[in-house]
Structure formats: structure tokens, C-alpha cells
């Protein structure tokens, strides 16, 4: 499994037989750099945690250019189908979708999900986390945008994710201290990758506090630079 961070909550996940783009807010974020065509090359699936603009991002263009299938909530899939996305595969909290090369399970996230369209607020279903499982690969949990909640312990019990993509930016999600509490109290992650920070002035500027908060904990904090990748192998 190869995981590349494109800033904010946008990740490219390469698995045997599939290339996933999660929350691909690429071109219009302040940190955007690099080659868009290279970022999306080979994409087979776009996974969205919720319907906010900074997560939907370039989904319509990506799906149009690559033929990728969109995986998200029924509301997000339905709304983006109206915008021209041809292949959608909806699911909801508690459910699992078999996408062939991998399975994705939808979890709770304490957050909102909406889009302003033509001056009106459009509700776009629940915000969710995503658990991604593939044969002979570590289990990945992208929390999406979320606050801290006690039922995270049940997510760990059900899926035992080894890699956690964790929001730390504060204001709209957990801050680093809350994220560290979640990682230490509710999960048995081997690796934590911070997300949803250093994009806008309102958010935390770095992952330094998370590194401090998890110092001494039995988990590796993988702080990726924009466009950098990390590779993971093996299952627990």
C-alpha cells in the first residue's frame, strides 16, 4: 500500500488492482502544487467522506477524465451524478461495499455535510469515516472530518485499523490533543498520518503538537510533506 498526501485531507492510495483518491481537493487549495494529470493518473475510485467543498474538490473532473467510480453517501453520490459523474457506488454508516480489489466500510463521523449551490444550502447526507481493507494489505482508516467521540472504540473493535489518517486542524475538527487522545485511548494504530491542517490560516499550521502529544506512545506519527508518499506492507 502506497499512501501519498496532496494537502488537507486529500490522499492517493495505491493498492494491488486499484488506485484510490480520497477527498481530492487538489487544484483549488492554497497548497496546490505539482502536476494534476500525474496526481490522478490511473485512478479507479474516488472516495468522499462528506459533501463539503474542501473534500469534494475536483471529483467531477477526475471521474470524467479517468472513468473512476465514486464511492460515498447516497446524497453525495446522487448530487454528483447530477453534476455529470457517470459511475456511483453509494453506501452509508454501518455498511460495507465490495469494490473488487478492496472493501470500504462506512463509519460515523461527528461533522456536517453540505454545499452552497446557487446561493442555497444543499444538505448532502451524513459525514463519514472510511475503513479500507484489501487482501494482504494493512487496514486503513480515514477518519474524514470529525470530532472526538467515544464510539471510536467500537470502530477499532470492529475493524482493527493499523493506519489512521487523523484530522488535527482544530476549529472544524479535532485538534492535536483530542486526536492524540483518540489514538491512545480508542485505537491500536501502528501508524498515524495527520491531515486537515496547514491548508488555511484558520487551521493548525503544523503537526508538531500531535508529535509531542504522542511522544512515548506505541505508535509512529508519519508526517508527510505535500506530495510525499509512504509505503506499508503486511497485515496484523
* Assigned domain for 143 exists: yes
If we measure between CA atoms, which residue out of 118, 117, 144 comes closest to residue 130? 144
Alpha-carbon span 224 to 216, nearest angstrom: 20
Q: Domain range spanning residue 156?
A: 2-226
The structural domain count of the chain equals: 1
Query: How confident is the chain (236 residues) per 10-residue block, as mean pLDDT?
Result: 98 98 96 94 98 98 98 98 98 98 98 95 97 98 98 98 98 98 98 98 98 98 98 79
Q: In what order do the strands lie in the sheet with 191-195?
A: 96-98, 103-108, 128-133, 140-142, 163-167, 191-195, 220-221
Domain assignment present for residue 89? The answer is yes
**DSSP classification of residue 224:** P
pLDDT at 34: 84
Q: Classify residue 234: in a domain, yes or no.
A: no
What pLDDT is attached to residue 127?
98
192: domain CATH number? 3.60.15.10
Amino acid at each position: 500500500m502506497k499512501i501519498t498526501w496532496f494537502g488537507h485531507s486529500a490522499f492517493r492510495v495505491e493498492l494491488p488492482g486499484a488506485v484510490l483518491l480520497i477527498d481530492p481537493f487538489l487544484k483549488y487549495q492554497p497548497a496546490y502544487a505539482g502536476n494534476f494529470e500525474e496526481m490522478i493518473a490511473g485512478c479507479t475510485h474516488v472516495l468522499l467522506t462528506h459533501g463539503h467543498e474542501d473534500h469534494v474538490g475536483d471529483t467531477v473532473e477526475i471521474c470524467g477524465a479517468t472513468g473512476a467510480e465514486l464511492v460515498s453517501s447516497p446524497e453525495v453520490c446522487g448530487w454528483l451524478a447530477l453534476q455529470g459523474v457517470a459511475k456511483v457506488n453509494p453506501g452509508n454508516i454501518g455498511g460495507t461495499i465490495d469494490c473488487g480489489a478492496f472493501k470500504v466500510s462506512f463509519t460515523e463521523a461527528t461533522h456536517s455535510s453540505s454545499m452552497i449551490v446557487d446561493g442555497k444550502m444543499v444538505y448532502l447526507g451524513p459525514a463519514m469515516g472510511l475503513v479500507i481493507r484489501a487482501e494482504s494489505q494493512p487496514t486503513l482508516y480515514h477518519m474524514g472530518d470529525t470530532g472526538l467521540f467515544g464510539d471510536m472504540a467500537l470502530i477499532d473493535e470492529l475493524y482493527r485499523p493499523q493506519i489512521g489518517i487523523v484530522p488535527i486542524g482544530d476549529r472544524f475538527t479535532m485538534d492535536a490533543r483530542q486526536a492524540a487522545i483518540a489514538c491512545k485511548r480508542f485505537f491500536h494504530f501502528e501508524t498515524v498520518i495527520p491531515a486537515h491542517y496547514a491548508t488555511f490560516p484558520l487551521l493548525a499550521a503544523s503537526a508538531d503538537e500531535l508529535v509531542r502529544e504522542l511522544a512515548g506512545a506505541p505508535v509512529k506519527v508519519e508526517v508527510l510533506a505535500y506530495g510525499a508518499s509512504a509505503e506499508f506492507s503486511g497485515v496484523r
